[in-house]
A and B are shown apart, each in its own frame.
Chain A
Amino acid sequence: NAGVTQTPKFQVLKTGQSMTLQCAQDMNHEYMSWYRQDPGMGLRLIHYSVGAGITDQGEVPNGYNVSRSTTEDFPLRLLSAAPSQTSVYFCASSVGQGASGANVLTFGAGSRLTVL
């Protein structure tokens, strides 16, 4: 039982390049989400999903795309990277969804992205 697995752990991009951050969980969690963590600003929600085929925006969705084709995977795409997207990205999942919503989050180890 690996929990939430994020790849890559580190990535350096040039402005304008595209890339995908991968997130996979093996806990059969319906809810998955992406956060970015910047110094002094805490964790901010980018996008979340309550099940395969269902995604929604969080606080800071601009510049990021997501899709959810399976329960296990929730990739985050940067189509044209900008220096403002330099951050540490965390994927998190939760067993809850629907009327009671997401509950306790299980986080991955993070992906550190630098955009030059």
Chain B
Amino acid sequence: EDQVTQSPEALRLQEGESSSLNCSYTVSGLRGLFWYRQDPGKGPEFLFTLYSAGEEKEKERLKATLTKKESFLHITAPKPEDSATYLCAVRGYNFNKFYFGSGTKLNVKP
């Protein structure tokens, strides 16, 4: 069964304190791993897609990496505006089904 586990559930950082969020997955035939950001009361917004082990993507202070069993979202020198819930999702053999983790709620204090 396709499954996604995210850790930690919550993370509190001081502004400028770098850290990483983890997404471990079990999927039959990975056809893409997706990262989304969700602000309170809003729908998730797309950040990155990774397709193969070793792939990396960057956007401002965020960098996503992928191995055969997990993905990391590295946050370098975060700012308070990076506070949000970060969601990870995978797509397997069924190209039209996505499986989401329960998210990591990030709080960056000034």
Chain A positions within 8 Å of B, measured between CB atoms, are: 4, 31, 33, 35, 40-45, 48, 50, 56, 58-59, 90, 92, 96-97, 99-110
Contact = CB atoms under 8 A, between A and B. Distances in A.
B34 interface: yes
Interface stretch (B40-48, B55-63, B67-75): B40-48
Contact of B46 (A43, A50, A106): A106
B97 A45 contact: yes
Given A42-B87, A43-B44, A104 B96 contact: no
28 contacts: A4-B43, A31-B96, A33-B98, A41-B102, A42-B101, A42-B103, A43-B44, A43-B100, A45-B99, A48-B96, A48-B97, A50-B96, A56-B96, A59-B97, A90-B43, A99-B95, A100-B95, A102-B95, A102-B96, A102-B98, A103-B32, A104-B34, A105-B46, A107-B45, A109-B42, A109-B43, A110-B42, A110-B43
Q: Which interface class (under 10, 10 to 19, 20 to 34, 35 or more) fits B?
A: 20 to 34
B87 A43 contact: yes
Nearest to B101: A42
Of listed A35, A44, A107, residue having the most chain B CB within 10 A: A107
Contacts of A56: 96
B4 interface: yes
A3 to B, nearest CB: 9
A104 B100 contact: no
B31 interface: yes
Contacts of A4: 43
B107 interface: no
Contact of B44 (A44, A97, A103, A107): A107
A90 B7 CA distance: 23
Contact of B95 (A41, A45, A101, A108): A101
